[in-house]
Amino acid sequence: MSNLIVRLNNANIYQQQQAVLRGVTMTISQGEFAYLIGKTGSGKSSLLKVLYGALPLREGKGEVAGFDLLQLDRKKTPFLRRKLGVVFQDFNLLSDRNVDQNLRFVLSATGWKNEQDIRNRIEEVLAKVSLSDKLHSMPHELSGGEQQRVVIARALLNQPELIIADEPTGNLDPDTSDEILQLLRRLAQVNNTAVLVATHDYRIIENFPARIIRCIQGRIVEEV
């Protein structure tokens, strides 16, 4: 049996006091690529927030990258996040720092100390996203697609077991969106990293078919 990175069992997902999803049971295995779809307000973002520890799981069972979500507290959350890579629609790069400094910021925040190790890791992740020549570029000098590649490189720094991508193509044109999707799929295959992409973009789902998990009427439904 393949390793399960995400396992939710009869979980109820709350946004403040309101249950937005009930009875969520789902698994995501190592190296698996899946889409999370649903209308605005259907609970997609709340589900993602539970997975990366920004919202507490109050009811049901949940485990992500070996962490019990019911037992997750402020002390444990940073350790969970080191096993995850999160990619948002808004690139969230530090605008006053170049690509190298953006990536160093994350490494120093997660305990990397050795300069040679830091340099090597930054070179490795930039090579994976085909941006080796952009080390000293500032974010404003990069195209939207290049900025999103830097964000994906940043997500890869600590060799995550799961990449959560929340509308990663939301600000990109169709051709660039396709490039980002191909990159995420390649990372799932080559790195054996689980990838969960929340999206409204049905064009990329048609172009790059994969497992679909749909949020609809307060439930999770698997589509074959």
Q: What is the pLDDT of residues 105-114, one digit of tens each?
A: 999 988 899 9
What's this model's pTM, rounded to 2 decimal places? 0.92
pLDDT confidence band for 66 (50 / 70 / 90): very high
Tokens of 45: 């973002």
Compute the average pLDDT of residues 73-83: 90
How far, in whole angstroms, is CA 63 from its chain's centroid? Answer: 16
Q: Residue 69: is its pLDDT beyond 50?
A: yes
CB 147 within 8 A of CB 91: yes
- Tell me the pLDDT tens digit for each residue of 1-36: 459 999 999 999 998 889 999 999 999 999 999 999
From the number of C-beta atoms within 10 Å of its C-beta (0-12, 13-18, 19+), residue 137 rates as: middle
Rounded to an integer, what distance in angstroms lies between the CA atom of residue 13 and that of residue 40?
16
Phi, then psi, of 33 in degrees rounded to 5: -115, 130
